[in-house]
Amino acid sequence: MNHFANILSVNNILLDINVTSKKRAFEQAALLFENTQGIPRATVFDSLFSRERLGSTALGHGVAVPHGRIPNLTKPAAAFMRLSNPIPFDAPDNQNVGIMVILLVPENATQEHLEILASLAKTLSNAETREQLLSLDDPEAIYDLFTQQ
């Protein structure tokens, strides 16, 4: 997933975030993207929440990949959030989610969007990778794990 290195930065990796719901998690993600990429938090939140209303972005095994299309975004952007306490996410396996990879893409990035999602799903389906994401305490190490896949 080397192309992931271009859309994820160490600054967009948050560990052990204390949230109690999807809404609160999306608020944290929106604030992060506003602070690191200058994307208005309301735009990020609305995009993520609108997509989630179409169906859960949880993959199972405690993982979700919330994603949304952002007007005027020129290239995809990503963030990683590990939650201190897993939250309900309407996952197919009914497991609460503790690992979130948030993906924002330009409005017209259909093929690229799908390729990134497929690559993420493959990486996150690996049990060893999930265990490392839950145990690593250094954002640099998590960044390296994603970008060296």
Domain ranges of the chain: 10-148
Q: Report residue 123: phi and psi, to 5°.
A: -60, -45
Q: Which residues in the chain belong to E strands, given as ranges?
A: 8-17, 58-60, 63-64, 67-70, 77-87, 97-106
Give the torsion through C-alpha atoms of 24, 79, 32, 85, to 10 deg.
30
Catalytic residue set: 67
What is the pLDDT confidence band of residue 149, given thresholds at 50, 70 and 90? low
Of the chain, the percentage scoring pLDDT greater than 70 comes to: 97
From residue 52, alpha-carbon distances to 83, 133, 145 in Å are: 18, 23, 27
> pTM (2 decimals)?
0.93
10-148 belongs to CATH 3.50.50.60: no
Write down the pLDDT at residue 2. Answer: 57
